[in-house]
Amino acid sequence: MIALKLPSQTVKIDKGELVSYNVNSVEYIHQKGAPGWRNADTEMFPVIGPTAEANFTVWTPKGDAIQDQHGLLRELIYTLVKADDTTAIFQKEYLANTKIANSKYPDKSTVSELYWPYNFKFQKKYELTKNGLEITFVITAEEGMPYMLGYHPAFKTESKFTELSAENNSTINVKEIQAVGNRAYLLENRTETTLKNTNSVTIQTKGFKHLMLWTAVDTMLCIEPITFYPYAVTQDKLSEGYSYMGKLPAEYKVFLKPTYL
């Protein structure tokens, strides 16, 4: 377990996963083992969304790849690159066409192995500042590699009536988000929202295009920055949502800013 600390702020990271962000004795992150979801955060890469109806197959310029829901990155293990009192850097590396065991098989999937036809390196950096927590994702891969990226953190909520800011100065509550179901609620072209608990937190993003919201319980809400909303197309056309690597590494950021810091 890695701990980052500043006055009034503590971050705990377990093998790359953000398991706690505590500010002035208030916990903002959904706790593993609590109802709703078994994790606290994860990443969705190199695809976002379900693939079952497309026989778990997605198109790439180098041929088809086998991907389960939200990609194969979550099946890889982070290694710690660097850590000090306020910063921690983790990394995952993948060698093209390496077959990775699918943890969803056989209970929730019919494919036992996943693969992707490109090498990539995926870095996740945490930096605790006086204004809050900054999380940076850096993707390094060959020019032209297609990908989607989503960050999937879960926040604690107080009830089904807990609100967050939406379009045109409106709000939406947890109950309304639940009603959408597993497709997830889309905040289109939105890069910022505020979760309005008693101790509110603002989520700001850079590089992502939208926010996707999901929960099945009243006490947790996943607020997910994404490059593409996967339910905008049928699963066999998921590749329409790709971004493509340029000559330089691709960088994305998420800022968590508690109101009462």
Q: How far apart are CA 245 and CA 31, in angstroms?
A: 34
Pairing verdict, β 150-156 and 220-226: antiparallel
Report the Cα–Cα distance between both ends of the chain, in Å, rounded: 24
Tell me the two tokens of residue 59.
């198109």
The pLDDT tens digits of the residues spanning 22-65 come to 999 999 999 998 999 999 999 999 999 999 999 999 999 999 99
Helix (H, G, I), strand (E, B) or coil at 174: helix
The pLDDT tens digits of the residues spanning 173-182 come to 999 999 998 8
Average pLDDT on 226-243 reads 95
Largest CA distance in the chain: 51
Q: How far apart are CA 88 and CA 81, in angstroms?
A: 8
The pLDDT tens digits of the residues spanning 102-153 come to 999 999 899 999 999 999 999 999 999 999 999 999 999 999 999 999 999 9
Q: Alpha helix (H) ranges present in the chain?
A: 174-180
Exposure class string for 80-111: b at 16+ Cβ within 10 A, else e: eeeeeebebbbbbebeeeeebebebeeeebeb
Structural domains of the chain sorted by starting position, each given as residue range(s) with its CATH number in brackets: 24-242 (2.70.98.10)
pTM, 2 dp: 0.95
pLDDT of residue 207: 98
